Amino acid sequence: MAETVKRVAILGAGMIGEVHRRAAILAGAQVLGVMASSPERSREVAEAWGVEQAYGSIEEVAESKADVVHICTPNASHVPYAVALMKAGKHVLCEKPLGVSLEDARQAAQVAEDAGVVNTIPFAYRFHPMVREMQARVQAEEFGTINLMHGSYLQDWLLNPKATSWRVDPKAGGPSRAFGDIGSHWCDLVEWVTGDRIARLVATTSITIKQRPAATAATFSAAEVDAPLIDVHTEDSALILFRTANDIAGSAVISQLSAGRKNRLWVEVDGMHQSAVFDQEQPEQLWIGSEAGAEILVRDPTRGSAEQRRLSLLPAGHPQGYAQCFENYVVDSYAAVDAYAGHGQAPHGLPNFADGARAAEICDAMLRSAASGEWVGVG
Amino acid sequence: MAETVKRVAILGAGMIGEVHRRAAILAGAQVLGVMASSPERSREVAEAWGVEQAYGSIEEVAESKADVVHICTPNASHVPYAVALMKAGKHVLCEKPLGVSLEDARQAAQVAEDAGVVNTIPFAYRFHPMVREMQARVQAEEFGTINLMHGSYLQDWLLNPKATSWRVDPKAGGPSRAFGDIGSHWCDLVEWVTGDRIARLVATTSITIKQRPAATAATFSAAEVDAPLIDVHTEDSALILFRTANDIAGSAVISQLSAGRKNRLWVEVDGMHQSAVFDQEQPEQLWIGSEAGAEILVRDPTRGSAEQRRLSLLPAGHPQGYAQCFENYVVDSYAAVDAYAGHGQAPHGLPNFADGARAAEICDAMLRSAASGEWVGVG
Amino acid sequence: MAETVKRVAILGAGMIGEVHRRAAILAGAQVLGVMASSPERSREVAEAWGVEQAYGSIEEVAESKADVVHICTPNASHVPYAVALMKAGKHVLCEKPLGVSLEDARQAAQVAEDAGVVNTIPFAYRFHPMVREMQARVQAEEFGTINLMHGSYLQDWLLNPKATSWRVDPKAGGPSRAFGDIGSHWCDLVEWVTGDRIARLVATTSITIKQRPAATAATFSAAEVDAPLIDVHTEDSALILFRTANDIAGSAVISQLSAGRKNRLWVEVDGMHQSAVFDQEQPEQLWIGSEAGAEILVRDPTRGSAEQRRLSLLPAGHPQGYAQCFENYVVDSYAAVDAYAGHGQAPHGLPNFADGARAAEICDAMLRSAASGEWVGVG
Amino acid sequence: MAETVKRVAILGAGMIGEVHRRAAILAGAQVLGVMASSPERSREVAEAWGVEQAYGSIEEVAESKADVVHICTPNASHVPYAVALMKAGKHVLCEKPLGVSLEDARQAAQVAEDAGVVNTIPFAYRFHPMVREMQARVQAEEFGTINLMHGSYLQDWLLNPKATSWRVDPKAGGPSRAFGDIGSHWCDLVEWVTGDRIARLVATTSITIKQRPAATAATFSAAEVDAPLIDVHTEDSALILFRTANDIAGSAVISQLSAGRKNRLWVEVDGMHQSAVFDQEQPEQLWIGSEAGAEILVRDPTRGSAEQRRLSLLPAGHPQGYAQCFENYVVDSYAAVDAYAGHGQAPHGLPNFADGARAAEICDAMLRSAASGEWVGVG
């Protein structure tokens, strides 16, 4: 629970806005108001949610009494809204991606640094307790020197050629789809866990389904749509090889056309003493391999690293999952606001706009390499 | 059981020679003789095995009454021995790799084609019944059009910096170690299962352990050796991206430094209808994913494809493993000899010298790309 | 979200009271007040929670404006509090067990029936979406006639002989420990899923750790305590065989001394067409076996039974867990209150006081059989 | 490889006879002759196998030059043949069960003791290397004092009501089917691993499929048969609770009607320090649980107990399975023959006729308890 009651505004009333609202309430915040797609819609949502303010414009939000703003609007508005609000002194929790271009993302990160306010991005998988355990063990060199990083992030939500989503359209979702959307999570996780950085990479991408129906609504899930077919310009899958700042080799397979895979983010880090695997579809455990065999380490609030314990909200054997990740992200973002005000310290591992800009840099490098066929530098 | 009793000679009396001998006996062959590292050693082994002939030279083998010769000697002698024997009209089962250079491999394949004798290579994993099932389903288009191929082959047998093996030395094992040894299995399997071919690739390799003890003996397993350290010139890990003749993208991670992985060959083929995974450490099953969920298909001699049934030697639930793969390989090689003599047909899926040369081509492309940093064509 | 805003009181401010409060807030309830272990403590908690009322006695709660009361106090007070509140017309969500004796439980169930108010018990595992899927498929006879039911519920939280808990003391926790606490969940689940009833059973119990420290505090988790050792009178493990009303045989192994098992409730139901397994430590999936192989069915809000969809709060691949079970239980309890008031229908599968009394009957039979060594009837 | 070349005779030329022949040849034995279902059939098989002798009667076998006889004939002949041969001084490897009645089994064990010859029974699962590891760790008290033993042995081969086998008929297969056939393996394994003994038990059995076609042929697998239906008198499933000589509680679920289970023998032993699980469908690993998590111990000839190493015939990661179990059983039986002749020591853990009689005692107790509904003593 945060030090003081946060007064928050929520921009966006879609599914993801609801997820933020739920986590804000659980974290003890007071939701002051909401801004939806139009002033009328803002008033309807404010009434449904039982909140006082219905904002008609970003200026109204900037002038409101909210301390903290959750930005859950379509991708293209993330950066202009975040910039305006940070300049007005608001703390911001901004949905990923941080804009739809590298320039946008870098600008937002720069403004965040200048403004000095709290700025966070939901790279939510960092908040799985067993990811924390993995990071703590890498940092303590329990696995030995890392010699390889590899894995994949596989989904099947766009396997149906008749399905589409606003994410397919570069204007709404950015020039990279599979990599920008889920590959960015994989890269953030592997860089954060290892403390190493992808220095250069080579990529190949595929657009397997050449045409899909035009997207007509901003739905979160892929829907079968009865609309005219249009050409697809964003990748269904992206594969990269990379070498890090420490010259470690790595590989990632990112796909939205892998049947039977729902959200399979798999990260393996191989050290000279032990290997470790985190699989997001089995987030309660870590596989740790050594020459003598393997260990299945289960989440347990009474064992392991300080961060595993801190983020464990339930006893061992009572599965946590995605909801707790997101709740932890919001609680930690609010704790950073407390720290800003002089109460306690900002928590460990909170992903911020610099991390958002970093994701944009890797994505840009991936697209450049896929186009040129050459190894390219990142950043 | 083969049509006629095969009279066989075995070259090489090490561990792998013993494996061949065991499979030959189980397949009903009569072992005529053996050639070991020296005429004296040949006589000792012949006595120990209870066989009549102890060959002192390859010429003696070529002139012997053996119909079939198993070549289980060190890598550098594979091709000269195979070539001499095929020219003498012998059928040959030759251990992989097919020589230590691309030129060697191509020569052997050419001689094999000219001689017309039976020539096989133990890409033994093809003989797991569930690999056959996977291949049959790809060919029947049950998975739909393939859109992605990926996986890894991970071991930890060279994780110990004090351990070494003759495989570390390019002169004895060839210029590529991890890829040449195990990556070649991965590529053979994915090409054979899909019927598609790796057309071009980009690679990166790592020599993580820069020095190891000099290898002093031809041991099969990595041994801690108390010997002077020498520079290592063969890769510990190799990562590739590729595109196939059908322009499908793929990725493979090959490593001998992944702690806790003993022999983890993992192949995933993603089709537009279903995905399928074969994991060599769990060879009795196939994972098949679809949008509705996943199926764990278990080996069962009473179900599935004709080839699964044919190679299933035990009832469902009585695990088969590596031994049966190898036995199936030898039985099928002998059946090809029967077919050569006009008895029946050569079995499906028998890997031959053309496949051995193919493996050498891919390995050569991998080394060229790792050196140049560029995408290169294969073959 | 419930039809009307529920005004709720919470009795008990320990860990489980906090769990109820969290779920009540998420379900949109207004928490009016709290009653803790003393009037002073009630005031402290009320202030900490920011709620208006601090109740000094059950009478004050009965006279309050609360519509719904969550009873989260120690076991011995469950029934007296529930009875008093139901007679006052309050709807009650009462923590399990329903009292510490069979008589208590039956009385509570009778009062509940007479009063007609909503009365529910958190047999929370019923609210895993994949348990709903299993139940729906049994009811639709997809598995064929059931021929066997078996499984286990294993924990290790009392493996340490120096650890104890109030649950060890029969006065505080009732005469059965392992079976009363976790065996009751197993039996509830198997009876609810199959719609069949355990008619008679035979049992054997073990008290492996003969003495433990005296419990000094009402902690939820087992704690190492530096206190005088006292004799243990409640079982560490209980094993039963049973036959159902339909004369189906069954078996359950219940233990709190199984190292490495945290909360492993495993239920297998074998039908003449298919078998099905639910494992609470992997609650996102159902294993379904058939002669042709096995299917891993994953939770997916876009597929499967109506109840699976209804209780799926997150997309497939974003793991739900224990928290969502409990939230679903509270949401459904409130929906039953709406139905009581004429708004909609009471949800399917809500466990009530009759189910609590049923659990007490099975537990009583288990104890009688363990004492006599004979098969005994249930109820 | 055995000390001397064994001269063996094989009785029975069905599928299991073939399995013995294969293992005998691999173990270096010389197969002298065979006795099949008739003198004519013996001659045919002798020719097919390429062996010299075709025995027309048990007397001929007793008078032959064979040192060792493998008895692979139908169950009812096991004991008379074994008795006759042991009295003639032959060493015997006799298929299980040791006769179809308790009296038979006890007689055979007595004759074996009096004759002093080598007498073994293929409780083959003892020969999985990871079962040896489990046994070694129990004996070294690594798991701490055992507090519970539980598990199951599940198959689905008789799920089809139209299928049958000679095992269904009490005259051919004995009065117990599921328990006698597979339950006996489970009990042997748990007693051998723990060194403890089932002292008393209570059981319940089910004949779910009341009628099946009459069996017409001695097939090994269940076959759909077009024959008149007859009443079934042997159980489809048997469930037991037991207490051991050390007063440890246990439970086993035995079934041949569990869809999707092919040969799932699962044994869990819970100690006060660690728990351990062996699952025959995953025989290359042992699950070891402790309060801190779980370990997956994989078979590795370079690690672990002396017996694991001894029986590991392949490198780690190259799966062994059922075939190697059986081969190890025969090799060890022959080593016992060597020891009888004064060469070396009899190997550890070889199951003999006393173990066969023990299995008959437990089976008899199970049937008595299922009939009476009471706890009964074993033996």
Q: What are the tens digits of pLDDT across the range A36-68?
A: 999 999 999 999 998 999 999 999 999 999 999
Q: Is D290 within 8 Å of C259 when comparing Cβ atoms? A: yes
* Helices (H), ranges, D241-352: 306-311, 322-340
Asked if the C-beta of B222 comes within 8 angstroms of chain A's C-beta atoms, the answer is: no
Cis peptide before D97 (omega within 30 of 0): yes
Q: Which residue of D has its CA nearest to B323?
A: D320
Residues of A in contact with C155 (CB under 8 A): 317
Predicted confidence band of residue A164 (pLDDT cuts 50, 70, 90): confident
Asked if C318's CB is within 8 angstroms of A321's CB, the reply is: yes
- Average pLDDT over all residues of chain B: 95
Q: Give the pLDDT band of residue B217 (cuts 50, 70, 90).
A: low
Please tell me whether residue A6 adopts helix, strand or coil conformation.
coil
The verdict on a CB contact (< 8 Å) between D319 and B283 is yes
- Comparing C100 with D65, the larger pLDDT belongs to D65
Residue C346: predicted pLDDT: 95
Q: Which residues of A touch C284 (CB under 8 A)?
A: 281, 321
Q: Are D171 and D77 in contact (CB under 8 A)?
A: no
* Number of C-beta neighbours around residue C354 at 10 A: 17
Q: Tokens representing C241?
A: 């065989």
For chain B, the chains sharing at least 3 beta-carbon pairs closer than 8 angstroms are A, C, D
| Confidence band for D141, pLDDT divided at 50, 70 and 90 | very high
More confident residue, A60 or B214: A60
Shortest Cα distance from C281 to chain D (angstroms)?
13
Contact D241 C241 (CB under 8 A): yes
Q: Which of A99-113, A168-182, A195-209 comes out lowest in average pLDDT?
A: A168-182
How would residue D215 be classed by pLDDT, with cut points 50, 70 and 90?
confident
Q: Does A47 touch chain C (CB under 8 A)?
A: no
Q: Looking at residue C190, what DSSP letter applies? A: H
Q: What is the pLDDT of residue B216?
A: 62
Contact B65, B7 (CB under 8 A): yes
Query: In whole angstroms, what is the distance from residue A172 CA to residue D54 CA?
Result: 83
Tell me the residues of chain D between 263 and 322 that have a Cβ less than 8 Å away from chain A: 292-298, 300, 303
Query: Which chain B residues are closer than 8 Å to A274 by Cβ?
Result: 259-260
At D164 the pLDDT is: 87
Residues in chain D closer than 8 A to A293 (CB atoms): 295-298, 300, 303
The pLDDT, as a whole number, for residue A271 is 98
B266 has pLDDT over 60: yes
Q: Does D344 touch chain B (CB under 8 A)?
A: no
Inter-chain touch C160–D291, beta carbons under 8 Å? yes
- Of A128, A278, A281, which to mutate for an interface test with C (greatest number of C Cβ within 10 Å)? A281
- The reported pLDDT for the residue numbered D222 is 66
Half-sphere exposure of A283 (CA within 13 A, CB side): 30
Nearest CA-CA distance, residue D86 and chain B, Å: 30
What mean pLDDT is predicted for residues A286-307?
Answer: 95
The answer to whether the beta carbons of residues D190 and D269 sit under 8 Å apart is yes
Whether the CB of A236 is below 8 Å from some CB of chain B: the reply is yes
Query: In this model, does residue B325 exceed pLDDT 80?
Result: yes
Residue C97 has pLDDT above 90, yes or no: yes
* pLDDT attached to residue C359: 98
Write the DSSP assignment of C101-159 as a string of letters.
SHHHHHHHHHHHHHH---EE---GGGGSHHHHHHHHHHHTTTT-SEEEEEEEEE--TT-
Q: Average pLDDT, whole number, for chain A?
A: 95
d(CA C33, CA C67): 12
Q: Which residues of D touch A298 (CB under 8 A)?
A: 293-294
**Contact between A288 and B261 using a beta-carbon 8 Å cutoff:** no
Answer whether D94's CB lies under 8 Å from D72's CB: no
Cβ atoms within 10 A of the Cβ of D160, count?
16
In Å, how far is B211's CA from the nearest CA of chain A?
15
So what's the pLDDT on residue C226? 78
Preferred mutation among C133, C296, C302, C312 to probe B, highest tally of B CBs within 10 A = C296
- The answer to whether D206 contacts C148, with C-beta atoms less than 8 Å apart, is yes
Chains interfacing with A (3 or more CB pairs < 8 Å): B, C, D
What token pair was written down for A272?
């000279």
Q: Is C48 on the interface with A (CB under 8 A)?
A: no
Q: Virtual CA dihedral for D307, D311, D317, D323, nearest 10 degrees? A: -140
Name the pLDDT band for D110 (thresholds 50, 70, 90): very high
- To test the contact with chain B by mutation, choose from D262, D302, D329 the residue with the greatest count of B C-beta atoms within 10 A, namely D262
pLDDT greater than 70 at residue C218: no
Tokens representing D359? 């299995």
Give the count of Cβ contacts less than 8 A between chain A and D: 26
Hey, what long-range contacts does B195-199 have (CB within 8 A, 24 or more apart)? B195/B138, B195/B139, B196/B146, B196/B149, B196/B244, B196/B245, B196/B246, B196/B248, B197/B244, B197/B245, B197/B378, B198/B242, B198/B243, B198/B244, B198/B250, B198/B362, B198/B378, B199/B242, B199/B243, B199/B244, B199/B245, B199/B247, B199/B377, B199/B378
Inter-chain CB proximity A295 and D296 less than 8 Å: yes
Q: Please measure the distance between the N-terminal and C-terminal CA atoms of chain D and give it in whole angstroms.
A: 37
Task: Note whether D239 contacts C258, CB cutoff 8 Å.
Answer: no
Task: At A346, give phi and psi (nearest 5°).
Answer: -65, 140
- Specify the pLDDT at position C216: 62
Q: d(Cα B85, Cα B87) in Å, to the nearest integer?
A: 5
B296/C293 touch (CB, cutoff 8 Å), yes or no: yes
Q: What Å distances lie between residue A285 and A225, A324, D74, D216, CA to CA?
A: 38, 15, 49, 52
Nearest-neighbour CA in chain A from B200: distance (Å): 12
* Cβ contact A297–D298 (<8 Å): no
Summarize pLDDT for D243-274 with one digit per residue, the tens: 999 999 999 999 999 999 999 999 999 999 99
* Facing B303 at nearest CB: one of C292, C296, C300: C292
pLDDT in tens, C230-278: 999 999 999 999 999 999 999 999 999 999 999 999 999 999 999 999 9
Dump pLDDT digits (tens) for C282-314.
Answer: 999 999 999 989 999 999 999 999 999 999 999
User: Which residues 83-112 on chain D approach chain B with CB closer than 8 angstroms?
Assistant: none
Tokens standing for residue B320: 């088969």
pLDDT at D47 over 90: yes
Contact D206 C147 (CB under 8 A): yes
How far, in Å, CA of D255 to CA of A160, rounded?
Answer: 42
pLDDT of residue B2 exceeding 70:
no
* Chain D: closest CA distance from residue C299 (Å): 21
* Structure confidence at residue D172 as a pLDDT band (50, 70, 90): confident
Average pLDDT over residues D226-245: 95
Q: CB neighbours of D103 closer than 8 A, spacing ≥ 6?
A: none
Looking at residue B173, its pLDDT comes to 85
SS3 B37: coil
- Residue D273: Cβ-neighbour burial (10 angstroms; 0-12, 13-18, 19+): middle
In the 8-state DSSP scheme, what is residue B215?
A: P
pLDDT per residue as tens digits for the range C328-347: 999 999 999 999 999 999 99
Q: Do C317 and A22 touch (CB under 8 A)?
A: no
Pairwise CB contact (< 8 Å): D257 & C294: no
For residues B348-376, one letter each, b for 16 or more C-beta atoms within 10 angstroms of the residue's C-beta and e for the rest, the string is ebbbbbbbbbbbbbbbbbbbebbeeeebb
Nearest to C297 among B293, B300, B303 (CB): B293
Confidence label for A133 from pLDDT (cuts 50, 70 and 90):
very high
- Across the interface, whether the CB atoms of B319 and D317 are under 8 A apart is answered no
Can you give the length of chain D in residues?
Answer: 379
* Residue among C290, A208, A228, A205 at smallest CA distance from B144: A208
CA distance C301 to chain B (A): 11
One-letter identity of residue C48: A
Question: Is C262's CB within 8 Å of A316's CB?
Answer: yes
Nearest chain C residue to D270, by CA: C258
Q: Which amino acid is at C150?
A: H
Contact yes or no for A204 and B257 at CB 8 A:
no
CB-based contact D253 C150, cutoff 8 Å: yes
Distance, CA of A184 to CA of C357 (rounded, Å): 52
pLDDT value at residue A2: 54
Å between D147 CA and nearest CA of chain C: 7
Place of tokens 């529910």: C120
